[in-house]
Amino acid sequence: MRRGKPAFHVKEGVSKALLVGHKMLAYGFDIALSHGKEVAKLYVDSWNEVVSGEIDEVDFNKKDYDYYHKTAKEQIFEAYNRIIDLKTAGLFSSACKVGALEANMTGDILKVFSDYGREIGLAYQLADDLVDLANGEMIESVVLPLLNRLDNKPKLGFLKKQGIKRKFARNQDKIKQYYIDEIQKHVKKAQELSKSELIPESNYKELMIEAPTYIINRMLSDIKLSV
């Protein structure tokens, strides 16, 4: 289930899901090429970054309980943040950068837009993971060892949906606080970047300042939270 509905691979099968995914990538690259070599290169680099993040997550999830139990909480958080930076924040970063490229921007302002998108992406993935945890999801994810490290009573074994709900309920104040603090940190950074003197004054600049909070609060509204 994804957002309350059966995932495509459940309805149509894994083989078709993989093939349709590859086909969509081809369509996307064709569109990127039509906007020039720089955009096409950004497309390829972004997808490579996303896949690298997903591979890191798969490898991380293969580690046994002993590793998670002995690894310092800070290292778990560091691995978690590195993975979401690659697999999600990179896409948000590229989306904002390509918008700047389409507006014929060059130089330092491209980095401002790129960093702005990355901060929103980090906040977005954190918010998405918090919503999933609150709803008892996240069956296989790097979030699970993190949840274990935040739990007052970590236990051996594979976490089933009911187990996640129990762990979250037992530690929800601590977990929510961790996520909200991290989300607010990235939202604030995005807002600071949107106020850069490199970005010309306009109604769109005002929109950039307001967008991070709006996007994240839409996500968190599902569990009646806000930043």
Nearest to 133 by CA among 159, 98, 97: 159
pLDDT of residue 139: 57
Numbers of helices and strands, H then E, in the chain: 10, 0
Res. 158 pLDDT band, cuts 50 70 90:
very low
Would you place residue 142 in the very low, low, confident or very high pLDDT band (cuts 50, 70, 90)?
low
Query: Per-residue pLDDT for 152 more than 90?
Result: no
Q: What is the pLDDT of residue 109?
A: 96
Check if the beta carbon of residue 32 is closer than 8 Å to that of residue 40: yes
Per the DSSP assignment, residues forming a β-bridge with 2 are: 5
Q: How many residues does the chain have?
A: 227
What residue spans define the domains of the chain?
A: 44-223
- Residue that the structure tokens 């070599």 belong to: 37
pLDDT for the residue 171: 76
Average pLDDT of every residue of the chain:
87
**pLDDT tens digits along 181-206:** 999 999 999 999 999 999 999 999 99
Count the Cβ atoms, other than its own, within 10 Å of residue 99: 12
CATH tag for 44-223 (out of 3.40.50.2300, 3.40.630.30, 3.60.15.10, 1.10.600.10): 1.10.600.10
Per cent of the chain over pLDDT 70 is 84
Q: Tell me the per-residue pLDDT of 72-84, one tens digit each, with 9 for 90 and over.
A: 777 878 888 999 9
DSSP assignments along 32-94, one per residue: HHHT-HHHHHHHHHHHHHHHHHHHHHHHHHTS-HHHHHHS-HHHHHHHHHHHHIIIIIHHHHH
This model's pTM is above 0.75: yes
CB-based contacts of 219, cutoff 8 Å, min separation 6: 124, 127, 128, 131
pLDDT > 90? residue 147: no
